[in-house]
């Protein structure tokens, strides 16, 4: 299926609205989107770190700040 959108004529708000509609549609059937195989390994590693007490957690605000600092 070839879908063509007039992206050069769309505002940022229009583009965001299209993305939200697509995301909403994809979320209706989450089981139809397979998780990549590497996700399982990462989740198992994180679960093991939590079990062993080695996991580190931060607040959402602290995480946002850390990410902002990394991309400066």
The domain segmentation of the chain, as residue ranges, is 36-72
Q: What is the pLDDT of residues 5-55, one digit of tens each?
A: 999 999 999 999 999 999 999 999 988 989 999 999 999 999 999 999 999
Distance (Å, rounded) from C-alpha 39 to C-alpha 33?
Answer: 13
Q: Which helix (H) or strand (E) holds 69?
A: helix 60-71
> Does residue 57 carry a pLDDT above 90?
yes
pLDDT at 72: 83
pTM as predicted: 0.49
Closest CA to 18 of 3, 33, 31: 3
Distance (Å, rounded) from C-alpha 44 to C-alpha 63?
Answer: 22
Rg (CA), the chain: 19
């Amino acid at each position: 299926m070839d879908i063509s959108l007039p992206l050069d004529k769309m505002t940022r708000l229009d583009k965001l609205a299209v993305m939200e509609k697509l995301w909403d549609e994809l979320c209706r059937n989450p089981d139809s989107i397979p998780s990549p195989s590497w996700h399982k390994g990462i989740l198992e590693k994180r679960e093991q770190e939590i079990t062993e007490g080695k996991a580190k957690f931060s607040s959402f605000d602290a995480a946002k700040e850390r990410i902002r600092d990394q991309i400066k």
